[in-house]
C-alpha cells in the first residue's frame, strides 16, 4: 500500500501529491492502530481458556454444594422457614471455610 502510494505521488502534481501524502499517512496510521488493537485482543483471547476452566470448575462446585444441601434438607425433612434459613446459613459458612482452606 505504501509503495503504491509512493508511485502515485511521483506521478501526481504538487497539490495532489500533498493530498495523497496526507491520505496515505492517515491509512498507515489507521492500519497501525488496528494492528495494535488486534494484538491486544489476541493477547486477551489467549487468557480465555484458563478463565473458562476456572468458571466451569467453580460452577460445578456450586452445583454440587447446592445439590448436597438440597439432599440434606430433604433427609432432615426441614420445611421452608426459619429452621431452613439457619441450616442454609450454617451450611454456607461451613462450605466457605472449606473452600477458603
The cell numbers describing 43, all together, are 493477547
| pLDDT tens, position by position, 52-98 | 999 999 899 889 888 887 887 777 776 777 877 887 788 778 777 77
- Tell me what pLDDT residue 70 has: 80
Cα–Cα distance for residue pair 97/93, rounded to 1 Å:
6
Residue 21 · residue 9 · CB < 8 Å:
yes
Q: Say how many CA atoms lie within 13 Å of 63 toward its Cβ.
A: 6
C-alpha span between 72 and 67 (Å, rounded): 9
Give the integer Cα–Cα distance in Å for 48 and 14: 51
Note the pLDDT tens digit of each residue in 4-48.
666 666 666 677 777 777 888 888 899 999 999 999 999 999 999
CA angle 21, 23, 26 (to 5 degrees): 110
Residue 7 near residue 20, CB atoms below 8 Å: no
CB-side neighbour CA atoms (13 Å) of 85: 2
Amino acid at each position: 500500500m505504501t509503495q503504491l502510494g509512493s508511485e502515485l505521488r511521483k506521478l501526481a502534481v504538487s497539490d495532489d501529491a500533498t493530498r495523497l501524502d496526507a491520505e496515505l499517512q492517515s491509512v498507515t496510521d489507521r492500519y497501525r492502530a488496528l494492528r495494535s488493537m488486534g494484538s491486544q485482543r489476541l493477547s486477551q483471547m489467549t487468557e480465555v481458556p484458563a478463565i473458562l476452566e476456572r468458571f466451569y470448575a467453580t460452577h460445578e462446585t456450586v452445583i454440587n454444594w447446592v445439590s448436597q444441601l438440597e439432599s440434606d434438607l430433604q433427609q432432615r425433612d426441614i420445611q421452608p422457614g426459619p429452621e431452613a434459613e439457619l441450616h442454609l446459613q450454617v451450611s454456607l459458612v461451613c462450605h466457605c471455610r472449606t473452600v477458603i482452606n
